[in-house]
Structure 1
Amino acid sequence: MGSPGRRRILPEQLTRQWQGVLSGRSDERDIELALDAAHQARESWGKTSVTDRSNLLLKIADRIEQNIEYLAIAETWENGKTVRETLAADLPLVVDHFRYFAGCIRAQEGSAADIDANTVSYHFPEPLGVVGQIIPWNFPMLMAAWKVAPALAAGNCVVLKPAEQTPVSILVLVELIEDLLPAGILNIVNGFGTEAGQALATSKRIAKLAFTGSTNIGQHILKCAADSLIPSTVELGGKSPNVFFADVMDHEDEYLDKAIEGMLLAFFNQGEVCTCPSRVLIDESIYHKFMAKVIERAKTIKQGDPLDTETQVGAQVSQEQFDKILSYLAIGKEEGAELLLGGDICRLEGDQSGGFYIKPTILKGTNDMRIFQEEIFGPVISVTTFKDEAEALAIANDTEYGLGAGVWTRDMNKAQRMGRGAWNSGGTRVD
C-alpha cells in the first residue's frame, strides 16, 4: 500500500547494493484508507464464531509452514540475519504462534458471580474493534505474528505498519495467505515512522495501539495512546544482565558447555535482540579461566553470507545500525574498555565485500561506561566482574532498562534467591 508516486528503493543488507526493489512510502492518506477497510470489516469479523476464527489461524499456520524455506529466504535477504536462524527459529515460531492463539481462543471463557439474591454479575470477552500495530525490524515476521495472531483470534481487525527498514518480507507472507483472509481484517501500510507511523499512533479510529521498538519511540507511543485514551502495549529496549557464578566452572561438563553457549547467545541475530545477554557479569575468581573458554569458542563462530546455512552471524540490518554499532566500539575504546575479541568491521570477499558485517565483539570494562548503560543492539558483549552475590545484584540492577536478565549457577538456593524478587527485570532466565 502506498500513495501514487511515493516509492523508495531498498538496499540489500547482504551486499549493500541497491536492488531496485520498490517499497511503498505511505502517509496519513494511506492510513485512513487502511482504517476504512478495517472498520468496514470490523462488525462481520467481530461476530465470526470463535471456531471459525480459530480454524482460520490454523489454516494460516499451515500455509506458512508449507512455505517456510521461501519465507526464510525472503526475511534473510531483507534483514541480513542468517537463513539458518530464519529456518530454525523465526518461521517455525511464526507457525507456532498462530497455532497457539488458535487454541487459546477456543479455551477462553467468561465468568459470572452472584452479587445478591437478585443480582448476577457476568463478563464475557468482546473484540476491541480496530487496532494499530507497529512492528520492529529485528524479527519482521515473528514480531508481526506476536501481534497479529492474538488480535485476529480475538476478533479484531488490524492496521499494521512494518519497520521502514524491513517493509517487504511481511508483504511476501501476506501474499501467501491473502486468499484465506476475509477482506479488511489485516491491512499492511508501509512507510516512515514520522509519516505513516505517527498517523497510525495518533489516529482516533483505533481502539488499541501495540508497539515494539526503541525506548524513546515507545515513550512517544504511550503518550499518543494516552492522548486518545486507549490501551497500549509496548515492548522496548533492554540491556540484559547475565550473571555467571563461580560454580559454573566446578566441572568440565555439559553444563559448563551450555553456560559458554548461553553467553555467546549475545551474538544471535547479530545481537539485534532486546533480551540478549549484552551485559555479562562474571565472578572474579573464575573470570580468566571462563573467558578463555568463551573466547576460544567465539573464535569458531562462522561469519559470512547469510544465505549460507553454515553461517552463524550475518549482516546488520541497515547502514544506520551499522554506523551506530561502530560508534559504540569507538566509545568503548575511548572509555578505556579492554578489547577481548573483534571490535571492527568484518571484511568479506566477493558479493558480500560491501555488506553491513561487524565482527562479534567482547569488551571488558565497568558498569558506569556507556557500552554497559546504553543499548547498542549489535554483536557486542560488555563484560565486568563481581566479588559476591550482593555486588552482582547491585551491578545487574544499576541500569535504566528492565526487560530481561539471566543467572547461571549450579546452586539451586542461589538460583532461587537471584531468580525471584531481587531483580528489577520483567523476566529472568535461571540456568
Structure 2
Amino acid sequence: MSAPASPFDWAPKLVSSFIDGAFVGEVGGYRIPTFYPGDGRIISELQEADALEVDRAVRSARRAFNDPAWRDMAVEARQSILYRIAETIEANALELATLETLNAGIVRRDVLGRQVLRAAYNFRFFAEAISQQPGQVWQQNKDYLTFVTRHPVGVAALIAPWNSPLALASMKVASAIAFGNTCVLKPSEQTPLSLARLVELINDITPPGVVNLVNGRGGVTGAALTEHPDIDLIAFTGGTETGRQIMQTAGRRLKPAAVELGGKSANIIFADADQERALDGALISIFSNNGQQCLAGSRILVEDSIFDDFVGRFVERAQKIRVGDPLDDATEIGPIASARHREHILSYVGVAQSQGASLLTGGHALDRPGYFVEPTAVLAPSNSDRVCQEEIFGPFAAFVKFRDMEDAIRMANESQFGLVGYCWTQNLDKALRVSQGVRTGLMWVNTPMVRELRAPFGGVKDSGLGRDGAAASMAFFTEEKTTTIPIADTTLRKFGV
C-alpha cells in the first residue's frame, strides 16, 4: 500500500473486534475515543466488545483449534505461515509504525527501527524455534520404551499493554500460534490501531479463528475474556495490580497464566566503569520509548566518588534532548501516551520534593498542544523514598549515591520489583557478583536492553510470574504427554483366575 497524503489517513474511523476472519460490523454499545498524543485530537473511535462479543471470539478460536488441519499441522507448514507473517509485517512496516505512533506517541523512527523489526523477528524466530525442539525418550527400564510428546494447550487469552503494542503483542501471538494454539488478543483500549491492522494482516495468512481480536476496557472486555470458561491459558503484560487480579481469576479456574508486570530497575554505575558508555546507557535506559517501559533503568545508583560528575553530565545531556513531534525523525522523545498518564508522571515531582529530593532538570509539561513533558531527573536523599520505590513509568530518573558494591546490591534489592537490572563496571569479578546478587529476572552488564529471545525473559517478586523465550514459551504454550510401551514380553497379574 502506498503512503496516504497524510499519516492520519491511515487511522480508521472505527476500530471493532476482529472475529472469525472479519471485522465485526458497526453496532451499538460503548464507544471509546482514541487520541493522538502529539496534539490531543481524537483520531478514531473504539467499539467496545461486551461479554457476548467476547464469547463469539472465544468460540471462533475454539472451532479453529478443534480443526485438525490447524492443531495437527506439520511443522514445515506452520513455519511457512510464520515466515509469511514476518514478511507481511515488513512489507507494511510504514503503515504499522505510523498507526503505533498516532496511538502511543512513540517516535516513528524508533518504531520503524525497533518495534516493527522486532514484531517481524518474533514470528521468524518462532518459525525457527519450533523446528529445533528436542524430544525425550527414556530407556532405563529395559522392558519399556517411554517417550514424551508436546501438544498445544488450546485457546489463549493474550492481553497486551499500551506502551509498546506491536513488539509485545506480536511476541505473544507468535509464540501461541507457533505451537498450534489459537488465541484471542485484547490490546489496551488506549492503543488499538496498530494491533487491529496487524491482526487483519495475519488473518490474510492464517485460517479464520486462529487469531481473533477484541477491544475494550479491562473491567469489561478484559474481565469477560479472562473469566471465560473456554479459555485455556492467559498471557498478560501490564500493571502489577491488574496482574494480581488476572492471577486470582486464573487460580479460581485452574488455568495457567504468565504475567509480565512492573519494574523499578536499578542502574548501578561504578567508578571503574567506562563513563561515556555508562552515560549513554543510562540515558537510553530511562528516556527511550518516551520513558514508558517496564525495563527502564529509573533508579540510577552511582558510586559516591564519581557521583557529582556523572549526574552533572547526565543533566547536561538530558537538557539537550529533542522533545517534539513523534512523526519527525529529528525527535528523540515524543509525547506521553495520554493526558492522564502525563499528570501521573508530573505528580511525582511534588512527591519527590516533599520527601527532600532536589529537582535536577525538567519536571514540567511543555507549553504546546499534546501530552509532552520535559525529561526529568531528581536527586533522592534515600533509596526508600517513594520516587525510588514506585513505578512512575515515564521519562523520570531518580539518582541515589552508594558507597561500595555491597551497598549497591543492598539498595538494588530494596524494591518490591525485580524485572531487570543494569551494571556498569570494567571489573569482571564485580560484574559477576552484582549479577548474581541482585534479585532480578535479567541483568544487563555494560549494555542496555539487549533481548536474546533464546534465553528466558521475565521478572521476580512484583514484576511477574513466568517467562518468555524459546524453551520457556514452549513450556507455557504446550502440554507434555508421557507414553509408555512395552518392548519385551512382560508378565501381567491375572485377577479372577
Is the structural similarity TM-score above 0.5? yes
What are the equivalent positions in structure 2 for 1:245-324 lying under 5 Å apart?
Answer: 245-248=270-273, 255-265=274-284, 266-324=286-344
Give yes or no for the alignment of 1:346 onto 2:366: yes
The structure 1 residue matched to 2:201, chosen from 160, 167, 176, is 176
Deviation readout 1:213-268 (Å, 9 max, x if unpaired): 011111111111111111111100000001000112xxxxxx42221111112011
Instruction: Work out the CA distance in 1 between the residues paired with 2:404 and 2:276.
Output: 23
Q: Is the Cα contact below 8 Å between 2:46 and 2:189 reproduced in 1?
A: no
Alignment-mate amino acid for residue 357 of structure 1: F
Deviation readout 1:264-302 (Å, 9 max, x if unpaired): 120111111111100010001111111122122222211
Instruction: Work out the CA distance in 2 between the residues paired with 1:175 and 1:430.
Output: 39
Give yes or no for the alignment of 1:197 onto 2:216: no
What are the equivalent positions in structure 2 for 1:136-215 lying under 5 Å apart?
Answer: 136-215=161-240
Of stretches 28-37 and 166-175 in structure 1, the one that deviates more from structure 2 is 166-175
Q: Is the Cα contact below 8 Å between 1:115 and 1:121 reproduced in 2?
A: no
Q: Which has the higher helix share?
A: 1
Partner of 1:9: 33
| Cα deviation, residue 9, structure 1 | 2.3
Partner of 2:42: 18
RMSD: 1.2
Deviation readout 1:38-85 (Å, 9 max, x if unpaired): 111102211111111111010000011111112111100110111121
The structure 2 residue matched to 1:395, chosen from 402, 408, 411, is 411
Give yes or no for the alignment of 1:53 onto 2:73: no
Q: Tell which structure's C-alpha radius of gyration is larger.
A: 2
Q: Is the Cα contact below 8 Å between 2:107 and 2:289 reproduced in 1?
A: yes
Identity %: 37
Give yes or no for the alignment of 1:419 onto 2:435: yes
| Cα deviation, residue 175, structure 1 | 2.4
Instruction: Work out the CA distance in 2 between the residues paired with 1:176 and 1:184.
Output: 13
Q: Is the Cα contact below 8 Å between 1:324 and 1:376 reproduced in 2?
A: yes
Partner of 2:10: none
Partner of 1:370: 386
* Number of equivalences: 418
| Cα deviation, residue 34, structure 1 | 0.2
Partner of 2:370: 355
Q: Is the Cα contact below 8 Å between 1:23 and 1:168 reproduced in 2?
A: no
Deviation readout 1:72-116 (Å, 9 max, x if unpaired): 111001101111210111101111111000000111232110252
Residue 211 of structure 1 aligns to a residue whose secondary structure is strand
Partner of 1:251: none
The structure 2 residue matched to 1:40, chosen from 55, 63, 82, is 63
Instruction: Work out the CA distance in 1 between the residues paired with 2:151 and 2:142.
Output: 27
Instruction: Work out the CA distance in 1 between the residues paired with 2:399 and 2:370.
Output: 27
Instruction: Work out the CA distance in 2 between the residues paired with 1:81 and 1:329.
Output: 23
Alignment-mate amino acid for residue 381 of structure 1: A
Instruction: Work out the CA distance in 1 between the residues paired with 2:325 and 2:388.
Output: 30
Q: Is the Cα contact below 8 Å between 1:361 and 1:379 reproduced in 2?
A: yes
Q: Is the Cα contact below 8 Å between 1:14 and 1:356 reproduced in 2?
A: yes
Alignment-mate amino acid for residue 60 of structure 2: A
Instruction: Work out the CA distance in 2 between the residues paired with 1:330 and 1:84.
Output: 33
Q: Is the Cα contact below 8 Å between 2:203 and 2:211 reproduced in 1?
A: no
| Cα deviation, residue 184, structure 1 | 0.4
Partner of 1:350: none
Partner of 1:252: none
Q: Which runs of 5+ in 2 are unaligned?
A: 1-16, 18-23, 447-497
Deviation readout 1:355-401 (Å, 9 max, x if unpaired): 01111101011211111010000100011001111111111110100
Q: Is the Cα contact below 8 Å between 1:109 and 1:124 reproduced in 2?
A: no
Give yes or no for the alignment of 1:90 onto 2:106: no
Q: Is the Cα contact below 8 Å between 2:349 and 2:359 reproduced in 1?
A: no
Residue 415 of structure 2 aligns to a residue whose secondary structure is coil
Instruction: Work out the CA distance in 1 between the residues paired with 2:339 and 2:252.
Output: 34
Q: Is the Cα contact below 8 Å between 2:105 and 2:337 reproduced in 1?
A: yes
Instruction: Work out the CA distance in 2 between the residues paired with 1:226 and 1:69.
Output: 41
Residue 362 of structure 1 aligns to a residue whose secondary structure is strand
The alignment's TM-score, normalised by the length of structure 1, stands at 0.95
Partner of 1:31: 54
What are the equivalent positions in structure 2 for 1:376-387 lying under 5 Å apart?
Answer: 376-387=392-403
Q: Which runs of 5+ in 1 are unaligned?
A: 249-254, 348-352
Instruction: Work out the CA distance in 1 between the residues paired with 2:325 and 2:120.
Output: 26
Residue 207 of structure 2 aligns to a residue whose secondary structure is coil
Instruction: Work out the CA distance in 2 between the residues paired with 1:429 and 1:23.
Output: 39
Q: Is the Cα contact below 8 Å between 2:264 and 2:418 reproduced in 1?
A: yes
Of stretches 170-179 and 2-11 in structure 1, the one that deviates more from structure 2 is 2-11
Instruction: Work out the CA distance in 2 between the residues paired with 1:244 and 1:274.
Output: 20
Partner of 1:66: 91
Give yes or no for the alignment of 1:240 onto 2:265: yes
Q: Is the Cα contact below 8 Å between 2:199 and 2:212 reproduced in 1?
A: no
Instruction: Work out the CA distance in 2 between the residues paired with 1:391 and 1:8.
Output: 48
Instruction: Work out the CA distance in 2 between the residues paired with 1:374 and 1:177.
Output: 38
Q: Is the Cα contact below 8 Å between 1:31 and 1:196 reproduced in 2?
A: yes
Alignment-mate amino acid for residue 427 of structure 1: L
Instruction: Work out the CA distance in 1 between the residues paired with 2:299 and 2:63.
Output: 48
Instruction: Work out the CA distance in 2 between the residues paired with 1:243 and 1:373.
Output: 15
Q: Is the Cα contact below 8 Å between 1:113 and 1:121 reproduced in 2?
A: yes
Q: Is the Cα contact below 8 Å between 2:264 and 2:389 reproduced in 1?
A: yes
Residue 112 of structure 1 aligns to a residue whose secondary structure is strand
Q: Is the Cα contact below 8 Å between 2:83 and 2:123 reproduced in 1?
A: yes
Q: Is the Cα contact below 8 Å between 1:84 and 1:312 reproduced in 2?
A: no
Instruction: Work out the CA distance in 2 between the residues paired with 1:214 and 1:179.
Output: 32
Give yes or no for the alignment of 1:111 onto 2:136: yes
